[in-house]
């Protein structure tokens, strides 16, 4: 009961995490809207900056003109004073001359006053515009900082709760027991490698089986086949060797440290990573082939769909998805041999696999029925079994799907895959 109660608490915490993840998405949307508001403000600031520069140049010209006029007025005033002195000394009636000179001086002084007021108003307008841009920028910056603080706080809280859920989950489902000198992670890796060595078949046999997919790859257009092929869950690297022997560039991805170490020791290019995480790191339309042989039966449904969707995004138009899995329609497989690997989750019937592949927007090129049980077929022929019994007991033990990403393959990315 404690285990069930712990599991229920874990489910409740998981629902809370999903709700908080939605809140994070909403905050991210709000942050995007605020970011969108910055762009027009930045454009306005640049426009104001250009206008300010032009106005500063006009002010400098006006200031230089005013200085010249003031100097000229000073000289003119001195000359007028000299003329007035001469007129007074010579006794000439110069009232009319004196009045005309006075009006000219007043007119020039008023013009200079208007010029000075215009320059002052222009400078004030520039200061007002600058203040407005700065105020808007400060407000947007403040709002963005507030949203960022809320997001960071919620991310910290979600991370804390995820740690708590992980601890409770591990209490319900403990880690693989540690083996001497290996540690818990590598213990599980060695155990799975041992299962593969015992039940998968020899490497030469698996290479021969997987060669059935090679013609689909070599018939691809040159610009697609020249892109990288990525083998998800590459295991011992049999498919990588088939591709390398055909002169193609192939990269393996596997989360099992033991398998990765063995492949690297044999000179194969392999990366240790989660399959979906790796594909999400690849550029759009950057791969020619994505393969997953005897991988999908290890994944929960949501992860399997995510794998297919990410493969579709990363594949170039016209690129291929190759998938193989045990065939549960064979009763001996569905009831017995499937469970020789305890890390298998659910068998996937051929019709369901096709629907999943098409749901991810692939076109199915061909469905393959592979590895029939020849000994059982001989027995069926000798005993004249009915067709249904032959299919259920001696039918193909594996099923494969060759699917193509729609498109003509002309618009391809050149970015190579990366870790």
Rounded distance between C-alpha atoms, residue 30 and residue 23, angstroms: 11
Closest CA to 193 of 134, 236, 160: 236
353 and 321 in contact (C-beta within 8 Å)? no
Rounded distance between C-alpha atoms, residue 28 and residue 143, angstroms: 13
Sheet holding 287-293, edge to edge: 270-272, 250-254, 228-232, 287-293, 315-326, 396-404, 363-372
Closest CA to 10 of 155, 154, 166: 166
pLDDT the model gives residue 409: 46
pLDDT the model gives residue 126: 65
Numbers of helices and strands, H then E, in the chain: 14, 7
Burial (0-12, 13-18, 19+ Cβ within 10 Å), 41? middle
pTM of the model: 0.53
Query: According to DSSP H, which parts of 235-341 are helical?
Result: 238-245, 257-265, 275-280, 301-314, 331-335
Phi, psi of 90 (to 5 degrees): -85, -5
Q: How many CB atoms lie within 10 A of CB 258?
A: 18
Give, in order, the Cα–Cα distances in Å from 205 to each of 119, 200, 208, 265, 313: 91, 9, 5, 21, 32
pLDDT the model gives residue 92: 47
Rounded distance between C-alpha atoms, residue 65 and residue 59, angstroms: 10
CATH 1.10.287.1490 in the chain, residues? 2-172
CATH 3.40.50.150 in the chain, residues? 185-404
CB burial readout 98-117, b (16+ within 10 A) else e: eeebeeeeeebeeeeeeeee
Q: 185-404 — its CATH code?
A: 3.40.50.150
Pairing status of strand 315-326 against strand 396-404: antiparallel
pLDDT along the chain (419 residues), means of 10: 54 65 68 66 65 68 66 66 61 56 65 68 70 72 76 72 58 48 50 52 80 94 92 91 92 86 91 93 95 91 93 96 92 69 82 94 92 78 77 83 80 41
Burial (0-12, 13-18, 19+ Cβ within 10 Å), 227? buried
Bridge partners of 232, per DSSP, are: 253, 292
Give, in order, the Cα–Cα distances in Å from 327 to each of 43, 345, 392: 61, 14, 10
pLDDT the model gives residue 390: 73
230 and 251 in contact (C-beta within 8 Å)? yes
Bridge partners of 363, per DSSP, are: 404
Q: 2-172 — its CATH code?
A: 1.10.287.1490
């Amino acid at each position: 009961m404690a285990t069930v109660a712990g599991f229920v608490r874990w489910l409740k915490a998981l629902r809370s995490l999903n709700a908080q993840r939605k809140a994070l998405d909403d905050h991210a949307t709000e942050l995007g809207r605020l970011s969108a508001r910055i762009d027009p403000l930045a454009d306005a600031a640049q426009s104001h900056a250009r206008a300010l520069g032009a106005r500063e140049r006009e002010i400098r010209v006006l200031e230089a003109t005013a200085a010249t006029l003031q100097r000229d007025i000073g000289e003119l005033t001195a000359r007028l004073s000299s003329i007035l002195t001469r007129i007074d000394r010579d006794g000439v009636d110069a009232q009319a001359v004196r009045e005309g000179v006075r009006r000219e001086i007043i007119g020039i002084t008023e013009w200079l006053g208007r010029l000075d007021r215009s320059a002052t108003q222009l400078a004030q307008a520039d200061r007002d515009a600058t203040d407005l841009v700065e105020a808007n920028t400060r407000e947007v910056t403040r709002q963005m900082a507030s949203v960022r603080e809320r997001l960071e706080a919620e991310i910290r809280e979600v991370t804390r709760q995820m740690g708590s859920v992980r601890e409770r989950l591990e209490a319900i489902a403990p880690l693989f027991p540690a083996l001497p000198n290996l540690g818990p992670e590598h213990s599980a890796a060695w155990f799975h490698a041992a299962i593969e060595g015992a039940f998968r078949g020899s490497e030469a046999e698996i290479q021969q089986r997987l060669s059935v997919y090679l013609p689909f790859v070599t018939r691809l257009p040159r610009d697609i086949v020249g892109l990288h092929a990525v083998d998800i869950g590459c295991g011992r690297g049999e498919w990588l060797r088939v591709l390398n022997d055909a002169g193609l560039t192939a990269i393996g991805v596997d989360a099992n440290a033991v398998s990765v170490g063995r492949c690297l020791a044999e000179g194969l290019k392999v990366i240790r990573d989660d399959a979906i995480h790796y594909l999400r790191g690849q550029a759009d339309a950057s791969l020619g082939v994505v393969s997953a042989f005897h991988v999908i039966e290890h994944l929960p449904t949501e992860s399997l769909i995510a794998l297919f969707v990410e493969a579709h995004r990363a594949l170039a138009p016209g690129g291929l998805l190759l998938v193989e899995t045990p065939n549960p329609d064979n009763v001996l497989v569905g009831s017995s041999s499937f469970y020789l690997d305890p890390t298998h989750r659910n068998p996937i019937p051929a019709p369901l696999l096709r629907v999943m592949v098409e749901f991810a927007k692939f076109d199915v090129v061909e469905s393959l029925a592979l590895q029939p049980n020849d000994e059982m077929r001989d027995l069926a022929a000798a005993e004249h079994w009915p067709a249904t019994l032959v299919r259920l007991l001696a039918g193909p033990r594996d099923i494969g799907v060759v699917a193509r990403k729609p498109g003509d393959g002309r618009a391809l990315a050149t970015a190579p895959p990366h870790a």
